[in-house]
Amino acid sequence: MKRIMIFIILGVMMAPPAAMAIKQAELQLSVAFPDPVKAGDKITFQVVILNTGSETWLANRYSIYAEIYDAREKYLAKTDQILGNVAVGSAGMAIIYLPYAIPQDEYEGMYKYRIIVNYENKRILYSDFLSYTVSSIARKEEKAFLLPVKLNGKGMVSYRNSTEENWDSYLWNFNLGLMGQAFDNPMMFKLDSGIATDGFRLNTILLNYRLPALSVSAGDVMPVFSQLAFYNTGVRGFMVEYKPGKIELAGVLASSVFARQGTDTASGSYARYTGGARAGLEAVKDMKFGVSCVYTADAPGSLTDPAVSMAPAKNLVLAADVSCLMFGNFLLDGEYAYSSYSADLASDTAALDDGAYRISFSAMLGDITAGITYKEVGTYFSSLNSSYSISDRAGIEGLLNYSLDFLKIYFMYGRFNDNLSNAPEKVTTAIDNLSSFVTVAFRGFPVCTLGYTWNSLVGNPASLVNNVTRNASIGITHKIWETNISAGYQVAEFYDITDLSSDIISYSGNLRFNRMINNIISLNAGVNYSRLYSIDLPKTDQTAGASAGVNYRLIPEKFIISGFTSVSRRIDDAGTTDNLYINLNVDGTYNISSEMALTVGTGWINSADQINSANSCQSWSLGTRASYSF
């Protein structure tokens, strides 16, 4: 237990500064359809946004729109903002369709657009320029020759191998992303797969097809029924959403866990399947009701050797939720869920039944967003498809987000208690969490972000569990003489009042810069240093590192050479650690055409253990990648 606690503490203390935890987004794919479009008609920007941050985007808190520019990148207009009505977990995707009416008198030629994503009035994505074409004349004579399917996208094939396993550690990777229309309705397809020495890997697959009121998805889907029933859990299967008017219907049938054989020392996992349905109704304007049912069960015959003490389980969750938007700025929503959980399908032991509920109130007043939530999850409540529901815990949390062009303030505080049934064999704990970030950005001056987090865990009795973790950080970014410079410093402290584990203090800092020279050479470099004290041992660990990279457009628009290198060393004053790590990568990319590119590269890694040379190793790697856009 003590060792696990130390690993958790080190993970928290060595994490990036708090300012980096802000929601992040990446544009995965965007296609304008139809393209070209006739002046006076409507064009739709089909967009796939990836949540690259560590936190979930809550429904109705993020919005997406497009800015329209002419060929010279002069701003013209913007589309209506589309409010995201489903939660998007970390690494999850949001599929959005942005309609835009082309003015009747629009000139013929190329136009550009950008995709913008805001979360609680804070911009988290501002894409590069994309393009579409406007035609002032309708080509009716060509209409008969149009195929019922028109797709745009990008495909990529890559290969990598290294000397680690005597050139037997190869990996083929296949990526394909498609967006467009089929029979006048939008569709999207995404595939990420590979072949390695251990066989075929299907990392991601998703097909989505939308009719005016119907959305059908197959592959890796992430249903959002309610926070207690089905939330922030990716599954592979089929999902259907039907929204005729004020009614919302959804269903999912999928596999949530793949079978994995056990060993003598580790448990395997049964294949787990999930089926669920949800029905929602907007009874009156801005007031919605919904009910959900989710059933999950393991397949007993999916394992030949489950190994260490493992049995197939089943879980039923029934939930009801309600939300009310008042005066356009205040949202009151809540839900109640009942669960029945059986840890062993073959046992006659009665299932464990319990309940959970949540109530939230939030206000969105211009630049200010505030909210408060109370949640109580019963001791025996179990929802296998919701990471939001931690059983045997109750508490309250509130947040405040204030966002201006030059000032952004984020504050969150939560307090939770567990062991709700006061079971004598459990240690009751009180958990307090506080997070705060302040960003100041005056035009022409450095952008400064201050962060502070505080976490407390106190048990009853406190002699068993009583610790505090504090983290303070500062980050500064600025542009000087066309060079972007960023610096950060962080102090983290952990104090165990019970003295069951060592108190720890760490200091870390970093400095980075990047610069583009004549739009031909891009340079970036950085250094970092950290020092960690284990006060009670006593012991000090130090890590220092440096990295540098360059991109050189040897033949503009045709051939690019890239290089990256990093070196780091870790030592301690106890004489037990002295590791040196060096990494070097070089590759070249040749653009065969505007649609096709080929990349070839090599890399070298040297890991030297100065104390025990048997742990030292080095390896070479070779890789190639071909991509085609259409």
More confident residue, 526 or 186: 526
Whether the pLDDT of residue 142 is over 70: the answer is no
**What is the pLDDT at residue 106?**
67
**What is the pLDDT at residue 8?**
39
Worst-scoring range by mean pLDDT, 123-137, 315-329, 428-442, 566-580?
123-137
Rounded to 10 degrees, what is the CA torsion of 225, 228, 231, 233? -130
DSSP H or E run through 467: strand 466-480
Percent of the chain with pLDDT over 90: 43
What is the spatial distance between Cα 264 and Cα 267, in angstroms, rounded to a whole number? Answer: 8
**What is the pLDDT at residue 140?**
43
- Please list, in sequence order, all residues whose beta carbon lies within 8 angstroms of the beta carbon of residue 141, skipping any fewer than 6 positions away: none
Percent of the chain with pLDDT over 70: 92
Q: Count other Cβ atoms within 10 Å, centred on residue 140.
A: 8
Whether the pLDDT of residue 392 is over 60: the answer is yes
Residue 380 near residue 391 (C-beta atoms within 8 A): yes
**What is the pLDDT at residue 405?**
77
What is the spatial distance between Cα 511 and Cα 243, in angstroms, rounded to a whole number? Answer: 51
Whether the pLDDT of residue 480 is over 70: the answer is yes
**What is the pLDDT at residue 118?**
85
**Average pLDDT for 56-63:** 78
More confident residue, 94 or 395: 395
**What is the pLDDT at residue 251?**
96
Structure tokens at 276: 């669920």
What is the spatial distance between Cα 248 and Cα 257, in angstroms, rounded to a whole number? Answer: 27
Structure tokens at 135: 């035609």
Residue 581 near residue 544 (C-beta atoms within 8 A): no
**What is the pLDDT at residue 266?**
67
Residue 147 DSSP symbol:
-
pLDDT tens string 546-593: 999 999 999 888 999 999 999 999 998 888 889 999 999 999 999 998
Whether the pLDDT of residue 16 is over 70: the answer is no
Complete edge-to-edge strand list for the sheet that includes strand 93-101: 25-33, 42-51, 93-101
Residue 131 near residue 157 (C-beta atoms within 8 A): no
H/E/C letters for each residue in 549-612? Answer: EEEEEEECCCEEEEEEEEEEEEEECCCCCEEEEEEEEEEEEEECCCCEEEEEEEEEEEEEECCC
Whether the pLDDT of residue 239 is over 50: the answer is yes
Residue 113 near residue 32 (C-beta atoms within 8 A): yes
Beta strands in 286-427 (DSSP E): 287-298, 314-326, 330-342, 352-365, 368-377, 393-403, 407-418
**In sequence order, what DSSP letters do the residues of 89-146 get, joined into one string?**
-TT-EEEEEEEEEPPTTPPSEEEEEEEEEEETTEEEEEPPPEEEEEESS--GGGGGG-
Whether the pLDDT of residue 296 is over 90: the answer is yes
More confident residue, 546 or 303: 546
**What is the pLDDT at residue 137?**
55
**Average pLDDT for 296-310:** 75
Look at strands 42-51 and 75-78 and give their pairing. Answer: unpaired
Q: CB-based burial of residue 285 (10 Å sphere; 0-12 exposed, 13-18 middle, 19+ buried)?
A: exposed
DSSP H or E run through 6: helix 2-13
Whether the pLDDT of residue 514 is over 70: the answer is yes
pTM tops 0.85, yes or no: no
**Average pLDDT for 457-473:** 91
**Average pLDDT for 244-268:** 84
**What is the pLDDT at residue 20?**
37
pLDDT band for 366, please (50, 70, 90 cuts).
confident
What is the spatial distance between Cα 558 and Cα 129, in angstroms, rounded to a whole number? Answer: 20
pLDDT band for 500, please (50, 70, 90 cuts).
confident
Residue 175 near residue 22 (C-beta atoms within 8 A): no
Residue 386 DSSP symbol:
B
Residue 294 near residue 385 (C-beta atoms within 8 A): yes
**Average pLDDT for 367-393:** 90
Whether the pLDDT of residue 3 is over 80: the answer is no
**What is the pLDDT at residue 147?**
60
**Average pLDDT for 460-480:** 91
- Please list, in sequence order, all residues whose beta carbon lies within 8 angstroms of the beta carbon of residue 565, skipping any fewer than 6 positions away: 547, 548, 549, 582, 583, 584, 585
Nearest to 230 by CA among 295, 322, 297, 299: 295
Worst-scoring range by mean pLDDT, 56-65, 72-81, 300-309, 490-499?
300-309
Whether the pLDDT of residue 188 is over 90: the answer is no
Can you tell me which residue has the tokens 């007043």?
Answer: 365
Tell me the CB-side half-sphere exposure of residue 68, using CA atoms within 13 A.
21
More confident residue, 247 or 169: 247
pLDDT tens string 22-51: 457 888 778 787 778 888 788 888 888 888
- Calculate the average pLDDT of the chain: 85
Whether the pLDDT of residue 309 is over 90: the answer is no
**What is the pLDDT at residue 10?**
42
**What is the pLDDT at residue 306?**
57
Q: Length of the chain, please?
A: 630
